[in-house]
Structure 1
Amino acid sequence: MFKRRIIDALKIATGIKDINLDVTEREEFGDYSSNIAMQLFSKSQVSNSKLQRKYQSPRELAEEIVKKLKNSKNLVEIVDHIEVAGPGFINFWISKKFLLAELEGLADKGGEYGKSDLLKGKRIMFEFGQPNTHKLPHIGHLFSYIYGSACANILEFAGAKLFRANYQGDVGLHVAKCLWAFQKENPTITEPLEDKVKLLQEMYQKGSHAYDESDEVKKEINELNKKLYESDGTVQPFWQETRNWSLEYYSKFEKRLGIKYDRSYFESEVYKDGMRLVEENVGRIFEKSEGAVIFRGSRYNLHDRVFLTNYGTPTYEAKDMYLQTLKYKQWPFDLLVITTAH
């Protein structure tokens, strides 16, 4: 609200519609600052604005603009002080009296304070969180949960229709590493749920270490990963059981954070269609290379990316090919926002 009123006053004082107003980085420069005088001076637009005479410097022009601003009744109500700084910046200090009055209004309006219809009619899907199964979340996931939820709430408060989505990796190499270690270690599984989830993390770490240290183990885990994607009956039941441990744990974790979703998407539900889209476009968008299917991004100053491995399994990129299509089919949106846990 403060920013809008200052911008409106600057438009009237200069006759310019495109006004830049920034929050200052240092307290001694006030609360807001504009470089409009320097913009006008450098573009030689002064003679075309409502300021009808030439000036020797941007600072001189800024001082003339400040004189006009100080006559603005609408601005005087909210600003304590306006001054010119440096080569021609115009700095504004918001009135403490006005700020206190706003705080009183905030208390009166409670949860409705700041609500607007700025984004009314907009449909926004916001994806955040995205923890993988078969291992514990890290600090990046916590950031994504909190940041994503806060952003979604702000957009909704501004009038948008929000769809909160989660996308979790419940198949893939990380799962194969975890289940391979279970097969080799055959650890004792105990209650409660937290012990089971910690065990998943322990097995994942052991599988990851073994994968990096031995070519033979790498081959075994890659073969197990292929079986998971093929829904092989020898591995499917235990995959489902351990997957449920993770999902139950995350449900409790999200409840504790106050996080709610309209829909959770999973890699296991999109990889088949993602693979199909890639395979259908080999020779057009994708190409085969050393047994894998890749996108030759280097032709466009991008990275070359593998979409299907030489084991015939999909990467994250292949799954994403269909994920976004599925999202739009189920809930058509004007804007899709995706945060990540990195």
Structure 2
Amino acid sequence: MANYVKLASEEIKEIMMSALGKLVADKEIPAIPLPPFSVEIPNDTTHGDFATNLAMVSGKAFKEAGIKFNPREFAGKLCAAAILDGTLFDRCEVAGPGFINFFLSPKWFASVVKDVVDCGADFGRSDYGKGEKVMIEFVSANPTGPMHMGNARGGALGDCLAAAMDMAGFDVTREFYINDAGNQIEKFGISLEARYLQIYLGEDAVAFPEDAYHGEDIKERAQLFADVYGDRFVKADPKERQNALIEFALPKNIEKLQNDLGLYRIKYDVWFRESSLHNSGAVKKALDELTAKGMTYEKEGALWYKNSDVMKEQLLKQGKTPEQIEELGLKDDVLVRANGHPTYFAADIAYHYNKFVVRGFDRVINVWGADHHGHVARLKGAMDAIGLNGDKLDIVLMQLVRLMKDGQPYKMSKRSGKAVSLTDLIEDIPIDAARFFFNLSSPNSTLDFDLDLAVEQSSQNPVYYVQYAHARICSILKKLEADGVTPRGCTLDELCLLTLPEEIELIRALAEYPNMLVEVAKNYDPARMTRYSMDLATVFHKFYNSCRVADDNEALMYARLTLCIAVKNTIANVLGLMKVSAPKSM
């Protein structure tokens, strides 16, 4: 399938290069190297469908060669030398101080519509990623409690990014990292133990640790354990009791994570356990690699990573002065504590070593909360230190989610009285709205999630607005079918009848779809998908209000019907990538 915007841009470059060659051959201009030039779609397409700045950027080269130069005059020569026969363009002309505007032929617009319909769900698929093996790790919530709004946003963001990157030609793997080892699991066991003992000994007799997990879910798990085992573990060794509680509760928590994310329409390719890194010796192997490269040292019985040395080297390469670096107060990191227990950072290094070396991913993308920003540079630096390329590790940092209700911040769950969890959200808000709303703004922007708007059935609700465009087209098709009109294939000549401004604007929007997916993949910004779907819905509604599909001109009617089908398919495609439904009626 073709990317018609890209085809047109590349053809303009070829036309311009041929025109330059002709001008040189005719001795109209000297043979001097000219700088790269751009081809863009103007904001106002009434003055041209594409524009190039070749004449504008060439001035410096001419002046350096001692040649008098007028960009508008040069642009006129380029237009005169441009050969457009057999191309996608009807004409080109000079604009302003020297821009060259190109006007597409009707066949370009007709070809876009035909290709969208012919390609179906594959419209927009490209080879931009060249099959690069990419892993996207997202959510990775601790299995010690319920998922929060950050996890909900990360889930929608990571899943949509994965879908877009797959369409853009990457070999994508979705992964959830289960933190089932380390401090948080020890704290999980201590928390469960306290609640379990309180059941039999009373809350006054068993103090609950201040830094333990205070959620209602801990009480529920402890009670379930007591229902199964009774008071058998009340007098047991504390370590034995904690391990029993963890072995009982942790699988249930992990299963709940999987079920909740499944309800949220996220399916992972891999659920990777942190414990497997410890049990397999992978953590020790990674630390041995660092030690062999001289990147660790022992101090006070602990093993340390030379983080400050690595970071200093990186910052010097970035142009920082030694004085500026000194002010940062860089510190080394503990990898193995004096008690012999590896730190979370040690496991993280081993995990990413596994991603790159053991499983052979070319690029790794982690979706993290913005509160992890301090960990980004040191983890990328650790990849360099262990002999890998830290530039192949990309971190997408998400800003906070603010739930809003009645125009005010909304923080408390009706059920638990605590912070609203993912489970709370998808019980009260349609999953379509949740998936769509969490991608309304770029990851690096704070997101205000309007709970009232998410359930509103009006054009003010963006997901409803987009879905309504799809349903409206389905209604058009149904009505025409009732009148005996069924869709059929259109020739390019018939599709060339689509010449009204509203038709042209709609076709331009369709043509942008493949580029939009590439931009999502390139910039790690799935919000472009929601914006695109809203823009497409907007231009369709304009078309609907101006252009009657059931026209007396049969050829025009079928051309408009085909255009409607192309829009319907594209809306369904982009919503499908976001795991949002495309209803046939509303």
Q: TM-score, normalised by structure 1?
A: 0.66
Counterpart amino acid of residue 261 in structure 1: Y
Cα-to-partner distance string for 1:18-51 (whole Å, 9 max, x where unaligned): 5544567x6689886655444433345997xxxx
Quick one: structure 1 residues 140 and 3, their matched pair in 2 at CA, closer, same or farther if it must change by over 3 Å? farther
Give the superposed CA RMSD: 4.2
Deviation of the 1:111 alpha carbon: 0.6
Q: How many residues align?
A: 295
**Corresponding residue for 1:5?**
8
8 Å contact 1:124–1:161 — kept in the other structure? yes
Among 163, 175, 178, the residue aligned to 1:153: 163
Quick one: structure 1 residues 158 and 267, their matched pair in 2 at CA, closer, same or farther if it must change by over 3 Å? same
8 Å contact 2:89–2:103 — kept in the other structure? no
8 Å contact 1:20–1:36 — kept in the other structure? yes
- Please give the residue correspondences for 1:20-169 in structure 2 after superposition, counting only pairs within 5 Å: 20-21=38-39, 34-44=52-62, 54=67, 56-58=69-71, 61-62=74-75, 64-65=77-78, 71=84, 74-76=87-89, 84=95, 102-103=112-113, 105-119=115-129, 121-169=131-179
Distance 1:324 1:21 in 2: 40
Tell me which structure has the larger Cα radius of gyration: 2
Cα-to-partner distance string for 1:172-198 (whole Å, 9 max, x where unaligned): 333333333333344889xxxxxxxxx
Deviation of the 1:88 alpha carbon: 5.7
Quick one: structure 1 residues 104 and 40, their matched pair in 2 at CA, closer, same or farther if it must change by over 3 Å? same
Matched, 1:312 2:340: yes
8 Å contact 2:192–2:242 — kept in the other structure? no
Matched, 1:339 2:366: yes
SS at match of 1:288: strand
Q: Which moved more, 1:107-116 or 1:35-44?
A: 35-44
SS at match of 1:314: coil
Deviation of the 1:54 alpha carbon: 4.8
Cα-to-partner distance string for 1:58-78 (whole Å, 9 max, x where unaligned): 56545655666694652426x
Cα-to-partner distance string for 1:253-286 (whole Å, 9 max, x where unaligned): 2222332222211211114422443256448111
Deviation of the 1:101 alpha carbon: 5.9
Counterpart amino acid of residue 162 in structure 1: V
Cα-to-partner distance string for 1:149-182 (whole Å, 9 max, x where unaligned): 2333333334444333222222233333333333
Distance 1:314 1:125 in 2: 25
- Please give the residue correspondences for 1:205-220 in structure 2 after superposition, counting only pairs within 5 Å: none
Cα-to-partner distance string for 1:265-315 (whole Å, 9 max, x where unaligned): 121111442244325644811123455433223224265333234443333
Counterpart amino acid of residue 5 in structure 1: A
Quick one: structure 1 residues 120 and 174, their matched pair in 2 at CA, closer, same or farther if it must change by over 3 Å? same
SS at match of 1:261: coil
Deviation of the 1:329 alpha carbon: 6.0
**Corresponding residue for 2:190?**
180
Distance 2:44 2:181 in 1: 51
Distance 1:120 1:138 in 2: 36
Distance 1:129 1:141 in 2: 5
Among 269, 279, 284, the residue aligned to 2:276: 269
SS at match of 1:307: strand
Deviation of the 1:123 alpha carbon: 3.3
Matched, 1:323 2:351: yes
Matched, 1:246 2:253: yes
Distance 2:214 2:103 in 1: 54
SS at match of 2:364: strand
Deviation of the 1:9 alpha carbon: 1.1
8 Å contact 1:6–1:75 — kept in the other structure? no
Gaps of 5+ in 2: 21-33, 200-210, 216-238, 315-329, 370-586
Quick one: structure 1 residues 59 and 240, their matched pair in 2 at CA, closer, same or farther if it must change by over 3 Å? farther
Quick one: structure 1 residues 279 and 247, their matched pair in 2 at CA, closer, same or farther if it must change by over 3 Å? same
8 Å contact 2:158–2:367 — kept in the other structure? no
Quick one: structure 1 residues 290 and 139, their matched pair in 2 at CA, closer, same or farther if it must change by over 3 Å? farther
8 Å contact 1:7–1:19 — kept in the other structure? no
8 Å contact 1:34–1:91 — kept in the other structure? yes
Deviation of the 1:6 alpha carbon: 1.5
8 Å contact 2:297–2:303 — kept in the other structure? yes
Gaps of 5+ in 1: 48-52, 190-201, 207-231
Q: TM-score, normalised by structure 2?
A: 0.42
SS at match of 1:294: strand
Quick one: structure 1 residues 285 and 22, their matched pair in 2 at CA, closer, same or farther if it must change by over 3 Å? farther
Residue identity (%): 23
